[in-house]
Chain A
Amino acid sequence: MTGWHYWLPLLVLLTSLVASALIFWVDEEHSKLRSSINLGAAVLKISLVVVILVGVAAGQVYETRFALLNNIDFVLRADALGVMFAGLSSVLWLFTTIYAIGYLEDSPNRRRFFGFFGLCVASTLGIAFAGNLFTFLVFYELLTLSTYPLVAHRGTAKALRAGRIYLTYTLGGGIVLLIGVLWLYGLAGDVEFGDQEKLSDLAVTHPTTLKWVFLLLIAGLAVKAAMVPLHGWLPQAMVAPAPVSALLHAVAVVKAGAFGIVRVVYDVYGITLTWELGLLLPLGVAAAVTILYGSVRALMQTDIKRRLAFSTISQVSYIALGISLFGPIGTMGGLVHLLHQGLMKVTLFFCAGNYAETLGIHRICELNGVGRRMPGTSLAFTVGALGMIGLPPVAGFISKWYLGTGAVAAGIYWVLPVLVVSTLLNAAYFLPLLHRIWFRPQTGDWPQERTLGRWDTSLWLLIPTLVTAAFSLLAGLLAASDFSPLAWVELIVSTEYLP
């Protein structure tokens, strides 16, 4: 029982955890050492996740388990779904770290920053591999706490206020989730993911109670997933440094909420039970409302990062929408969007950060003619934006394709107009930016220009941006190949989630 396979999930978790402990211990001035630890841990973690990935694809099960309290186990299990999220989180950890090293060059409090950054990634990994609701809850709360110092990192009044709002929302959501988990524990005992028979039996006797529990669980998770009307913290959190926003929007907080919803629907309740209880339709409607509301609000923003934030609100709900479509195709759309949106959004936030760092551009109207000054960044931004609209051959198209065909195949026709209107709205708020970037002449000087190397900007900032943009493009272009996110999602759906 104690073998290499047994410890592997924990080991992955520990890479980030140990790295962050070491970083807290290294002095502020030793930035080289800190960066080496950070990057070394990130590379090690990716390698470990790849090992797990290959193993899981071959049908291997990795599980770390020990008893904490009576009847409650601490379980880390690498299943296909968890590995997907872990893979996203570890890949993006590497790139956001590279980016953050360049971004925070010579700024104060880097020790604190990178320490909590590592903690935050460790928590997402815990969320990914959590094997039961209890373990999930622990890491979910840990994520809340480790992100707060990142959001409030700058220490300005605005940042502190944003941090406070963030904490209010997420802790509130955490409490609601906790109540839901405890209630469920009271009913059914410890709920392992993937063990749905317990609840199926319960549904015969207590259907109404289960509905209420579901509502509590989803409401608690929806805070992090920024579903309307619980989204208020996300636009505020934009004051955080760009790499934090990138991580927050792409993989850490927002995605943790969405991932939690996936777990609750598929692994706690089971898709069939959720459907039988009539809970999928309300979830779908809530997602659709969020999609449209987020897009409309995004349209009204004048600040680049705020526009991106509202776009996240809208895009993350595609995942919930995909889950609510009762059928394998829609599920694939939702799950694959978890990865695709991560890649595209991280690209867009990197770009926003590059514009801000290099030229001092924060507002949309300042973007005029930036394509000629920063072609690489602008190209990456274009790829990300077109992907968000859902245009081929970028990854977003693949998500939209599966969501749309999945909805029609399941006979849920109203989703189709929602998708189309969302596409039009996305075009309406991204295309004007692209027009400014590429087709308008520069107006006046840049707000705050700095020269960072002979390229667009410093290579620390440019390379991660270009790489994630290339990933977003390739994930769509080569979607049908064996190494695409889509292929992995197909594996998840075919082995575990076929309803």
Chain B
Amino acid sequence: MMPVLLFLTPTWPLLLLALLVALRSAGASRTVFGWLWLTAPLPGLLLAALATGDPADTSLEMPWLLLGSLWWVDEVRQVFLLTTSLLWLFAGIYARGYLGARADSDRLQLARLRSFEYLWLLTLAGNLLLLIAEDIPSFYTGFVVMSFSAYGLVIHFRSPEALRAGRSYLYLAVLGEGFMLAGFLGTAAQVPEPMMSQIPLILEPDNVSALPLMICLLLGFGVKAGLPLLHVWLPVAHSVAPTPASAVLSGAMIKAGLLGWWLTLPLGSSNWPQVGQVLIVAGLVAVLGAALLGSLQSRAKAVLAYSSISQMGMMTSLLGVGLNDLTLWPLLVPALLLFVAHHGLNKGSLFLAVGIAEKLKTRWAPLLWIALLLSPLALVGWLGSGTLTKTLMKSSLYSEGWSQLVFWLTLGLLGTTLLMVRYLWLLQQMQQQLAEKQTPSPWMLASWLLLLPLALLVPWWLPLPESTPLAWPDQKGWIGLAWPVMVAFVLAVMAWALTRKSSRWQNYAPPAGDLLIVYQQAGRSLVAAFERGVGWLQKFSQAGQKLFIGLRKLEPWLLRISQQEIAWRREAALLFSFLLVLLSGLLLL
């Protein structure tokens, strides 16, 4: 049973893809986002639900595939798989309402929807494959398939803005792929079998190549995980992609980067204090910087993207702590796992809510507004999964004397609150601009309303390690959760009061993607320099050609030689008799 499920997890979406293409070229299926299409993440979900967390029970070996494949589900992968396939399932249902509603349009539109459908399946297959892959080639395959197929999802609307965003997404994805490749090749050469779990073992301080390879892996996965400086694609891509695609990009695919780090970095196997500290600082920069930049955005989805960068920053810092001191890592694992699931599902539901609010103008809108408030409250730690996650995280850090980091993360909570306030504000603005009465499609509503409770109740159903000390905060803990949110609230109100009169400040706000402009400028100068170099090269090759033509001058000379040769040949008899005489003369001597 388990091997079959493992096999079907990534291949079922692919089989569906083949089936849909075949049906359509035979003219048999006219529906878009049909029932069949919706089942794509189900084998993965079933696998995650049935897995025991022990790779011995849940593994599939295929020695003929790629360079010898091994797929399995361990404790860590189970959490990722469960969250990811759930999110894909609900985002798929949502997509049926979100994009399917527009399917009545012309042929070109229909073709585009179909291509969205196909790329959705491909991206999903890649995402699920990397979650269960234990051998490096399978993991890399999954990552590549996911990254490149998602490009099509990002540029789905084909607006100039979407194409620009797609380009930045692709540039960074390719760059990340390059770093990842270097990291994988370099480490794989040193392990007996190309397995993910063997990479951390060779990344130990005694190994001279460990540090450069680790940097490659950090940067390679960092593109997906939104590491500062590599994060620029997130805000632009998330704001232009169709909402269900943004949800999986931010909730599921971003976690692929984290999983990459998790599986390859020597967490709990060796100490890397410097790298750990750099990672902690980078994470905190993301936490605070993204909060600041995000609260200045004027699009809800861009705000959410910055919030993702900020939340991923917290996880990055925790990884840094684990890298800094290997004994701490086992304590951090449950907190991080809970964080992954909590953030993945809540961020997904926040994204889905954007599409709901875009179309919400009915009598019972106030009721839905209460629901809209739930996920933000969870994210700032005031509700359900959020409270338990934050408490678990803090208690793990406190117990090991990392109180300073806790302080910074608390500041991050302040930032998160600002982001959530901004997000809700923008949703409310969006809704006010709606002229006519309308309701979101039932598919969208159903998907969102089903995902919401699941996201809020994560700690109650997630298969966490047994020793996880889940607990509600004590009085001090509640205060710790309360004050940053209050302060942020006061700040938000002050900001609102200051900017109420005019929205001129928005002209000065950094655009989504902040540093992207700097990169583009640098890219342009680089291209110009390259072109200058090419011009120089061409001049060089022209000179070479001239030299070659110059050689032609030898031609008459060669001709003359051959004519002389003809003359010689005519007198061959004479020549030979002369030679004969000469030779015999020599012999006589």
Interface residues of A (CB under 8 A from B): 229, 296, 300, 329, 372, 386, 390-393, 397-398, 400-401, 404-409, 413, 416-417, 419-421, 423-424, 427-428, 431, 438-439, 441, 476-482
Contacts and interface: CB of A to CB of B under 8 A. Distances in A.
A424 B152 contact: no
Lowest 6 A-B CB distances belong to which pairs? A404-B185, A408-B189, A481-B64, A405-B189, A392-B141, A409-B189
Contacts of B68: 480
Given A329-B189, A397-B141, A477-B65, 9 more contacts: A296-B534, A401-B137, A404-B181, A405-B189, A408-B186, A431-B174, A438-B115, A481-B64, A481-B65
A398 B182 contact: no
B170 interface: yes
Interface residues of B, number: 34
A417 B186 CA distance: 10
- Chain B interface secondary structure, helix, strand, loop or mixed? helix
A413 B209 contact: yes
Contacts of A397: 137, 140-141
Interface in B179-202: 179, 181-182, 185-186, 188-190
B63 interface: yes
A419 B181 CA distance: 9
30 contacts: A296-B534, A391-B148, A391-B177, A392-B144, A397-B141, A401-B137, A401-B185, A401-B188, A404-B181, A404-B186, A405-B188, A405-B189, A408-B185, A408-B186, A408-B190, A417-B182, A420-B178, A420-B181, A420-B182, A421-B178, A424-B174, A428-B174, A441-B108, A441-B158, A477-B65, A479-B66, A479-B67, A480-B64, A480-B68, A482-B64
A419 B186 CA distance: 11
Contact of A391 (B144, B152, B179): B144
A400 B115 contact: no
A416 B188 contact: no
A431 B186 contact: no
Interface string B532-554: 00100000000010000000000
Interface string B131-160: 000000100110010001000100100100
Contact of A393 (B63, B108, B111, B141): B141
Contacts of A398: 66-67
A438 B166 CA distance: 14
B522 interface: no
Contacts of A423: 177-178, 181
A223 to B, nearest CB: 14
Contacts of B534: 296, 300
Interface of B: 63-69, 108, 111, 115, 137, 140-141, 144, 148, 152, 155, 158, 170, 174-175, 177-179, 181-182, 185-186, 188-190, 209, 534, 544
> Which interface residue of A329, A390, A420 has the most chain B CB atoms within 10 A?
A420
B66 A405 contact: no
Given A391-B148, A392-B141, A398-B67, A419 B209 contact: no
Contacts of B64: 478, 480-482
Contacts of A409: 189-190
B423 to A, nearest CB: 31
A439 to B, nearest CB: 6
Contacts, number: 95
A177 B220 CA distance: 45
A427 B147 CA distance: 13
A94 to B, nearest CB: 26
Contacts of B69: 480
Contacts of B181: 390, 400, 404, 419-420, 423
A93 B179 CA distance: 38
Contacts of A419: 181-182, 185
B530 to A, nearest CB: 8
A476 B66 CA distance: 6
A203 B188 CA distance: 36
A123 B224 CA distance: 50
B186 A480 contact: no
A386 B144 CA distance: 10
A406 B137 contact: no
A421 B175 CA distance: 10
A466 B483 CA distance: 64
A401 B185 CA distance: 6
A477 B66 contact: yes
A408 B216 CA distance: 15
Contacts of A428: 174
Contacts of B209: 408, 413
A398 B68 CA distance: 12
B175 A424 contact: yes
B225 to A, nearest CB: 20
Contacts of A438: 115, 152
Contact of B178 (A296, A393, A424): A424
Contacts of A393: 66, 141
Q: Which of A300, A476, A480 has the most CB of B within 10 A?
A: A480
B184 to A, nearest CB: 8
A379 to B, nearest CB: 10
A329 B64 CA distance: 19
